[in-house]
Amino acid sequence: MNLKIATTVTMVGAVWLSGCSFMSPTDSTAPVATAILKPTANNTATGTITFTQVENKVHIEGNIAGLSPGPHGFHIHEKGDCSAADGASAGGHFNPTNKAHGANSGTERHAGDLGNLVADSDGKAVVKIEIDGVTTTPGEANSIVGRGLIVHADADDFKTQPTGNSGKRVACGAIDAAVKS
């Protein structure tokens, strides 16, 4: 009788553990996108940024190097085209809802308004932002996939329309959907 109970407990434990591995954060099915930032002409900024859809928000994380110390405007732009030497081919801020420019924490803002990132004295910035109003699901009207990611030379003032007076574009990267294997 004890052997039968032990076998049942072992089987239940094995089923439970297999369910836990399915829930592992490394086995995420959340839509992910990535941007590889490259410097615009006469600049040195580079980096990799990952966008992960978590329910109705997008988590933005990564690292950027080669910046001047201090704050830099950080925005998603209309087009994932970084072919122009100055990054102008990425177009204006991504704004599918036709709102005024503002802070990433406000309700009145472009969907692409990500606020400022701050580079340390070595020119490195760690990005960790969460935004709503966009998705990493390709084909949706508010999808950021296929858009451009821009780092600007100056801080975003969150009020000057339509750009936040954040200066020239020092890095540009296309936001691409991650390839699932």
**Residue 152 annotated to the active site:** yes
24 to 11, 32, 33, 137: CA distances (angstroms)? 20, 16, 20, 22
For residue 69, cis peptide bond before it (omega within 30 degrees of 0): no
Of 109, 110, 147, 156, the active-site residue reads 110
Q: Considering the candidates 72, 109, 147, 169, report the single residue annotated as catalytic.
A: 169
> Which pLDDT tens digits describe the chain residue by residue (181 residues)?
444 433 333 333 333 333 333 222 333 566 899 999 999 999 999 999 999 999 999 999 999 999 999 999 999 999 999 999 999 999 999 989 888 888 877 777 888 889 999 999 999 999 999 999 899 999 899 999 999 999 999 999 998 998 899 999 999 999 998 755 4
Please, which residues bridge with residue 52 across strands?
A: 32, 59
**pTM for this model (two decimals):** 0.81
Which one of 72, 109, 147, 152 is the catalytic residue? 152
Whether 72 is catalytic:
no
Pick the catalytic residue from 75, 109, 147, 156. 75
- Tell me what pLDDT residue 142 has: 94
pLDDT for 28: 53
113 included as an active-site residue: yes
Per-residue pLDDT, 26 = 38
Supply the pLDDT for residue 104.
Answer: 79
CB atoms under 10 Å from CB of 107, counted, come to 9
CB 139 within 8 A of CB 99: no
Look at residues 130, 148, 131, 126 and name the one whose alpha carbon lies nearest to residue 67. Answer: 126
Is residue 81 part of the annotated active site? The answer reads no
Six-digit token pair at 84? 């122009």
- List 72, 77, 109, 147, catalytic entry: 77
Q: Which of 72, 113, 147, 156 is catalytic?
A: 113
Half-sphere exposure (CA, 13 Å, Cβ side) for 166? 31
Active-site annotation holds for 93: yes
Is 59 an annotated catalytic residue? no
Provide the residue type at 162 as one letter. Answer: P
CB count within 10 Å of CB 167 equals 14
What pLDDT sits at residue 146?
96
What's the pLDDT score for residue 103? 84
* 8 A C-beta contact, residue 129 and residue 149: no
CA angle 110, 142, 60 (to 5 degrees): 70
